[in-house]
């Protein structure tokens, strides 16, 4: 039996070896390009297996296949992939064609598209795939750091009110220069766009690209193209992202006894007396002794230890995003319907603090015949913010600064009947729960219909579109009265919202656009290529608003305008209207794909300006030379696929800063202006009318003249791409307010009296390549921008220092302050200095105080005349505008796994911190944090903060000590994903991923500040709604 078993096993083993030898067929071959040259490093893979190899330096490969009739895949960067059936062959040679997709890539530009290689303007295009899967609330947040020269700022972490700013290539004006954002040709707020709906985004940076939008293009243009319907089998896509948001870079509170010791130190230095005795400080450390009746007043004395931040704020809060789309149809009629739901909870532990948003979008396309097609786009957005009517910023400020020895709740034997204690200071927990609710909702309905007629005449196409964006805004704020008593109801210690109040605002607006255009493509002698665009548009806007307010409600729990005090009810209404009409055209010419020319012109007329200044023409010209297409270059420099130099000049307008009726003398009612006196006749308040501001009949457009030169290069079969640019912008008609004497008696309007010059450079380098079963990419970009106010006829004043917005001869947002020389270390040093130099803002300097330099030798530390010519001891300390902003993009994929990291930051920036944030003791409004423990003492002479001193404003004057190095690098996003192999009969794609946002940064900025805060014209405040780090999990499924 054993012999029989051994014999059977031997026969079976031989059969298996024979089958294996037959199945593992060896395949060899050579891979060449279209010129017959071998291609080394080509990926060779058997389809639907993990078997793979690469060609050697001679383009040769060897691979084994278990299936003699299998399919072999050849792929190589810069070439089109090719699949071939083996059909039992053991030798397979192949020729790969060059992939010209990079050269034929189409970019969305104003009123049309162009091949990327033929662009002569500065345009950055971003794929919608880059924006998805990021744990961010909206599309504008996802753009941060992606394109050089595009700055996305955020000024708050508040849900739905992050106050994102979008700036392209720095400042074009000292006034509001917003980038024009068009979503499928309709002006919209990018913060309300669902990233999953975006197909791509084009950013028009220079005049050649943006001047086609004329009077609204000074800040650049962002063109968002959403996903459209396509013909084919019905496709369903679902995505979900769930994020945990962790607050970061917040102040940390001290325990009550450490806090009290710093308070006592400050008061002793100021008055010679402490607030608490040593025994009372010990009571703070006793967890069983939290209060006692006051010996001198109708109140309690408290000795608790309350962590107000922990009591009132959640460290971790959640956000979630769901998106679903369905699309399909035939060539004659197809559709795409998408919807999404987003919600983010805020940091407030109690009461409302959240933002929710719903998006719906429908795209329908119909090809009526071979000449005519019709497209329809409809969209809906509903964004709602719920928060405390006392304002979350005010509550956060209380949580950071209320005395930690005050407990949350009243003593058990308290007879006032109130639950929450507000004896010593306001109680933020009571405010969170009971101060009232503020609800803000915004709804937007967008509709656009487009008719396209083409090729009735060869090369001629006609487009006409009509759109409306209608929005509704509703605000309702209920402010409940809260009163905190002492030990009995005989004494009111603190109160808010006295009397209670209801505020209601409603407005409804619409923006209509009608645009008609034709394009004509013409080719002559196979080398002369022309493209002509001409069109006209008309746009109008109207908003109707009404608001009302009532106080002293009958009940603190029922709010209605009908139940307020009739004597204190107010109501207002207003109407805003404007219109703009335009003619525009563009001519493109290229000769044999080598020499490129473009001319753009637009004529705008706006209702915002007077009849004599209403119309203006905005031209632009650009040219390019594709050196790589020249025979002398193409035949000798084979590793360069594309090399183009380009230049442009043009003008753009800044119409968004114009008032609606600046050229008209407007009449105002005296009862509606708070700072105007009221006229009383026979004891009755009378209404009166007056002119508040002078009319500005000669005001005209701000016109920004810009020029740009750039180089675009692609090398090594498009593995390496490089773009470098330098630009200048010159605003010769900037609006500013003249410095006229106040004796005029009316407001002074802005006039075209300023000139601003800005300039900068951009560099972007990308490398991508493949390896066995995967690929990788590396990208780096950096941009620099500077500006200077070359002319300003307004008030050139530096005041007493700090941030100065407008100052002739200096950049916008310049910083002025004193130079310091450390701290006084001894009283003798302070006294000796005092005999030579006077401190007008502090008479008795002492050890630990900041030592200011008397730069002008006047013997007095002061601001002189408060001007750049007479600055006294003030000096220029830099500006808050970031320079050398950069991004680093790393990514790879392998066998279904994908990993990416993106770093973003700035290499140079001045970060200015103001007194009200720095000073640890300002009466009872500021309380010390853990950072203030690093203050001057004889044992800590090189501390960051000066000595403790009550109301120590003298140590926190604007100076070089409080201007920090604001450079930083931040891990903006990191993601790890896996795409499953699925049965494509039922599931087209299934991917899961983990990602993080803002997980880490390196900076010298004080730990209580986010390094992105306070960018440009925003002041830094540590009580800003906290920013957060996010970790998330997501899934994408396509059926």
887: enclosing H helix or E strand: strand 883-894
Taking each helix axis from N to C terminus, what angle separates 278-285 and 256-271, rounded to the nearest 10 degrees?
A: 160
The CATH 2.60.40.4130 portion of the chain extends over 23-99
The per-residue pLDDT for 16 is: 40
| HSE-CB for 849 with a 13 A CA cutoff | 29
Tell me the percentage of the chain whose pLDDT exceeds 90. Answer: 64
pLDDT tens readout for residues 921-934 = 766 567 899 999 99
pLDDT-derived band at 44 (thresholds 50, 70, 90) equals: confident
pLDDT at 25: 77
What is the residue whose two structure tokens read 């104003």? Answer: 110
**Rounded Cα gap, residues 1003 and 1005, in angstroms:** 5
Task: Provide the percentage of residues in the chain whose pLDDT is more than 70.
Answer: 93
* Cα gap 457→242, rounded to integer Å: 53
pLDDT beyond 80 at 92 = yes
Distance, CA of 425 to chain centre: 36
Alpha-carbon distances of 260 from 78, 280, 407, 920, rounded to whole Å: 69, 10, 15, 12
841 prior amide bond cis, ω within 30: no
Walk across the sheet containing 802-804 and list its strands.
802-804, 814-818, 874-879
Q: 866 with 958: CB under 8 angstroms?
A: no
pLDDT in tens, 646-687: 999 999 988 878 888 888 888 777 654 455 555 666 666 667
Alpha-carbon distance of 428 to 397, in angstroms, equals 9
Query: Which CATH topology does 23-99 take?
Result: Immunoglobulin-like (2.60.40)
What is the C-alpha to C-alpha distance for residues 1008 and 1012, in angstroms, rounded to an integer? 12
Q: 183-222, pLDDT tens digit by residue?
A: 999 999 998 998 889 999 999 999 999 999 998 898 999 9
* Residue 20: how many other CB atoms lie within 10 Å: 10
In 3D space, the residue among 441, 356, 354, 349 whose CA is nearest the CA of residue 396 turns out to be: 349
Q: Are 978 and 991 in contact (CB under 8 A)?
A: yes
pLDDT tens per residue across span 411-436: 988 888 899 999 889 999 999 999 99
pLDDT digits (tens, 9 = 90+) for 988-1000: 889 999 999 999 9
pLDDT at res. 3: 46
Among 235, 210, 238, residue whose Cα is nearest residue 222: 210
The two beta strands, 989-1003 and 43-46, are unpaired
Sign, CA dihedral 978-983-989-990, equals negative
Phi, psi of 619 (to 5 degrees): -100, 165
Three-state helix/strand/coil letters over 567-614: HHCEEEEEEEEEEEEEEEEEEEEEECCCEEEEEEEEEEEECCCCHHHC
> Residue 121's closest CA among 689, 580, 647, 875?
647
CB distance 364 to 333 below 8 Å: yes
Q: Where in the chain is the domain with CATH 2.170.130.10?
A: 102-242
Average pLDDT rounded to a whole number, residues 357-370: 94
Distance CA 642, CA 720 (A): 11
In this prediction, residue 961 carries a pLDDT of: 94
Q: What is the 3-state secondary structure (H, E, C) of 364-401?
A: EEEECCCCEEEEEEEEEEEEEEEEECCCHHHHHHHHHH
Question: Please, which residues bridge with residue 347 across strands?
Answer: none
At residue 746, the 3 state secondary structure works out as: coil
pLDDT at 1017 over 70: no
Beta partners for 806? none
SS3 content of the chain, % helix, strand, coil (to 5): 15, 50, 35
pLDDT at 532: 97
Residue 978 confidence class, pLDDT cut points 50, 70, 90: very high
pLDDT in tens, 233-263: 899 999 999 999 999 999 999 999 999 999 9
CA separation for the pair 71, 68 (Å, rounded) = 9
- Smallest CA-to-CA distance from 1017 within 718, 854, 803, 784 is with 803
Q: How far is it, in rounded angstroms, from Cα 638 to Cα 39? A: 14
HEC states along 636-669? CCCCEEEEEEEEEEEEEECHHHCCCCCCCCCEEE
**Which of 182-186, 429-433, 761-765, 804-808 is least confident?**
804-808
Domain 102-242 fold: Ferric Hydroxamate Uptake Protein; Chain A, domain 1 (2.170.130)
Please check whether residue 110 is in contact with residue 121, taking contact to mean a CB–CB distance below 8 angstroms. Answer: no
**Cβ-contact 243, 378 below 8 angstroms:** no
Burial status of residue 208 (CB atoms within 10 A of its CB: 0-12, 13-18, 19 or more)? buried
More confident residue, 793 or 358: 358
* Contact predicate 254/307, CB 8 Å: no
Q: Alpha carbon of 700 to those of 663, 665, 735, 753: distances in Å?
A: 10, 16, 9, 11
β-strand pairing of 232-247 with 316-329: antiparallel
Looking at residue 564, the DSSP 8-state letter turns out to be S
Phi, psi for 425 (deg, rounded to 5): -145, 175
Residue tagged 């769901």 (tokens): 322
The alpha-helical segments, DSSP class H, found in 423-554 are 428-434
- Distance from C-alpha of 564 to C-alpha of 700, rounded to nearest angstrom: 46
Q: Give the C-alpha separation, 634 to 639, whole Å.
A: 9
Residue with tokens 């919202």: 497
Cβ proximity of 142 and 134 under 8 Å: yes
Q: CA 211, 212, 218, 220 torsion: positive or negative?
A: negative
Q: What's the mean pLDDT when you consider all of the chain? A: 89
User: Are the C-beta atoms of residues 841 and 848 closer than 8 Å to each other?
Assistant: no
Name, in order, each residue with C-beta under 8 angstroms of 472's C-beta and a sequence gap of 6 or more. Answer: 442, 443, 444, 506, 507, 508, 509
Characterize 149-162 residue by residue with b for buried, 16 or more Cβ atoms within 10 angstroms of its Cβ, and e for exposed: bbbbbbbbbbbbbb
Given CA atoms 694, 698, 703, 705 in this order, what sign does their dihedral have? Answer: negative
Mean pLDDT check: name the lowest of 139-143, 358-362, 876-880, 908-912.
139-143
CA nearest to 494, candidates 404, 387, 398, 565: 398
How far is it between the farthest Cα atoms of the chain?
A: 131
DSSP 240-288: EEEEEEEE-S---BPPHHHHHHHHHHHHHHHHS--SS-HHHHHHHH-TT
Q: Is 692 helix (H, G, I), strand (E, B) or coil?
A: coil
Residue that the structure tokens 């243009």 belong to: 221
Q: Reduced to 3 states, what is the DSSP secondary structure of residue 97? A: coil
Buried b (16+ CB within 10 A) or exposed e, 916-925: ebbbbbbeee
């Amino acid at each position: 039996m054993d012999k029989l078993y051994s014999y059977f096993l031997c026969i079976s083993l031989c059969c298996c070896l024979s089958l294996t030898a037959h199945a593992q067929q060896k395949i060899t071959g050579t891979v060449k390009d279209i010129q017959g040259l071998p291609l080394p490093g080509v990926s060779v893979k058997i389809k639907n297996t993990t078997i793979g190899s690469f060609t050697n330096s001679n383009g040769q490969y060897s691979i084994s296949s278990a299936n003699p009739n299998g399919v072999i895949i050849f792929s190589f960067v810069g070439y089109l992939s090719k699949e071939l059936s083996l059909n039992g062959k053991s030798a397979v040679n192949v020729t790969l064609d060059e992939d010209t997709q990079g050269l034929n890539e189409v970019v969305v530009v104003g009123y049309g598209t162009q091949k990327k290689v033929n662009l002569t303007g500065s345009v950055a295009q971003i794929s919608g795939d880059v924006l998805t899967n990021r744990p961010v609330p909206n599309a504008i947040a996802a753009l941060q750091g992606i394109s050089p020269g595009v700055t996305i700022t955020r000024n708050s972490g508040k849900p739905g009110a992050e106050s994102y700013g979008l700036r392209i290539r720095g400042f074009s004006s000292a006034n509001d220069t917003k980038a024009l954002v068009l979503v499928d040709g309709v002006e919209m707020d990018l913060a309300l766009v669902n990233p999953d709906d975006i197909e791509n985004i084009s950013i028009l940076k220079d005049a050649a690209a943006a001047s086609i939008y004329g009077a609204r293009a000074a800040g650049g243009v962002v063109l968002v193209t959403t996903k459209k319907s396509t013909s084919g089998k019905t496709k369903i896509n679902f995505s979900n992202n769930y994020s945990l948001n962790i607050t970061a870079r917040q102040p940390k509170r001290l325990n009550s006894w450490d806090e009290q010791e710093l308070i006592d130190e400050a008061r002793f230095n100021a008055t010679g007396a402490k607030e608490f005795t040593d025994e009372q400080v010990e009571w703070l450390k006793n967890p069983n002794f939290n209060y006692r009746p006051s010996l001198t007043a109708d109140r309690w004395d408290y000795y608790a230890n309350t962590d107000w931040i922990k009591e009132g704020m959640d460290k971790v809060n959640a956000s979630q995003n769901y998106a679903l789309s369905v699309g399909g149809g035939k060539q004659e009629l197809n559709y795409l319907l998408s919807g999404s739901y987003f919600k983010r909870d805020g940091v407030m532990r109690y009461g409302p603090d959240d933002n929710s948003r719903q998006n719906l979008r429908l795209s329908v396309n119909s090809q009526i015949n071979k000449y005519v097609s019709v497209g329809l786009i409809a969209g809906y957005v509903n964004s709602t913010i719920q928060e405390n009517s006392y304002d979350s910023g005010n509550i956060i400020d209380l949580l950071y600064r209320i005395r930690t020895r005050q407990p949350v709740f009243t003593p058990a034997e308290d007879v006032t009947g109130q639950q929450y204690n507000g004896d010593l200071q306001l109680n933020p927990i009571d405010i969170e729960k009971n101060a009232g609710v503020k609800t803000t909702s915004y709804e937007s309905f967008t509709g656009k219909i487009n008719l396209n007629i083409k090729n009735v005449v060869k090369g001629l196409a006609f487009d006409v579109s009509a759109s409306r964006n209608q929005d509704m805004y509703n605000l309702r704020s209920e402010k409940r009265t809260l009163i905190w008593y002492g030990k009995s109801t005989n004494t009111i210690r603190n109160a808010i919202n006295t009397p209670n109040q209801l505020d209601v605002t409603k407005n409804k607006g619409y923006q209509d656009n009608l645009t008609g255009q034709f394009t004509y493509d013409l080719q002559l002698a196979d080398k002369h290529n022309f493209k002509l665009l001409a069109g006209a548009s008309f746009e109008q806007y109207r908003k109707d608003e009404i608001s009302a307010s009532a106080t002293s409600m009958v009940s603190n729990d029922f709010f209605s305008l009908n139940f307020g005090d009739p004597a204190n009810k107010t109501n207002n209404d207003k109407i805003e209207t404007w219109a703009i009409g335009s003619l525009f055209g563009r001519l493109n010419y290229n000769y044999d794909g080598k020499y490129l020319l473009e001319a753009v012109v637009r004529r705008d007329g706006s209702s915002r300006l007077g009849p004599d200044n209403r119309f203006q023409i905005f031209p632009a010209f650009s040219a390019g030379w594709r050196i790589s297409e020249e025979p002398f270059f193409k035949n000798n420099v084979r590793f360069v696929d594309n090399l183009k130099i380009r230049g442009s000049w043009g003008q753009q307008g800044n119409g968004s800063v114009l008032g609606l009726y600046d050229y008209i003398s407007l009449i105002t009612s005296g009862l509606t202006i708070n700072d105007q006196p009221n006229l009383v006749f026979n004891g009755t308040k009378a209404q009166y009318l007056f002119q508040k501001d002078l009319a500005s009949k000669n005001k005209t457009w701000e016109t920004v003249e810009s020029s740009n030169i750039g180089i675009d290069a692609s090398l090594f079969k498009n593995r390496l791409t490089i773009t470098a640019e330098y630009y200048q912008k010159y605003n010769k008609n900037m609006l500013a307010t003249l410095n006229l004497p106040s004796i005029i008696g009316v407001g002074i309007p802005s006039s075209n009296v300023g000139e601003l010059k800005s300039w900068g450079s951009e560099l972007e380098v990308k490398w991508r390549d493949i390896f066995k079963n995967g690929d990788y990419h590396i990208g780096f970009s950096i941009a620099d921008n500077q500006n200077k106010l070359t002319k300003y006829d307004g008030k050139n004043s530096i005041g007493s220092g700090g941030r100065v917005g407008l100052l002739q001869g200096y950049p916008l947002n310049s910083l002025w302050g004193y130079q310091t020389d450390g701290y006084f270390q001894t009283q003798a040093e302070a006294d000796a200095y005092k005999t030579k130099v006077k401190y007008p803002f502090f008479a008795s300097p002492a050890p630990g105080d900041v030592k200011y330099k008397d730069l002008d030798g006047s013997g007095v530390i002061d601001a002189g005349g408060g001007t750049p010519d007479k600055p006294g001891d003030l000096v220029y300390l830099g500006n808050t505008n970031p320079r050398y902003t950069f991004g680093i993009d790393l990514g790879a994929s392998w066998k279904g796994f994908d990993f990416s990291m993106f770093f973003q930051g700035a290499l140079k920036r001045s970060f200015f911190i103001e007194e009200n944030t720095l000073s640890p003791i300002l009466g009872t409004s500021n309380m010390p944090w853990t950072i203030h423990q690093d203050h001057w003492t004889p044992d800590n002479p090189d501390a960051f903060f000066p000595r403790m001193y009550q109301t120590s404003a003298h140590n926190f004057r604007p100076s070089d000590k409080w201007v920090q190095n604001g450079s930083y690098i931040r891990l903006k996003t990191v993601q790890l994903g896996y795409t499953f192999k699925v049965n494509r009969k039922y599931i087209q794609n299934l991917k899961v991923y983990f990602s993080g946002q803002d997980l880490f940064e390196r900076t010298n900025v004080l730990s209580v500040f986010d390094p992105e805060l306070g960018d440009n014209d925003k002041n830094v405040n540590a009580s800003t709604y906290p920013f957060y780090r996010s970790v998330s999990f997501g899934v994408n499924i396509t059926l």
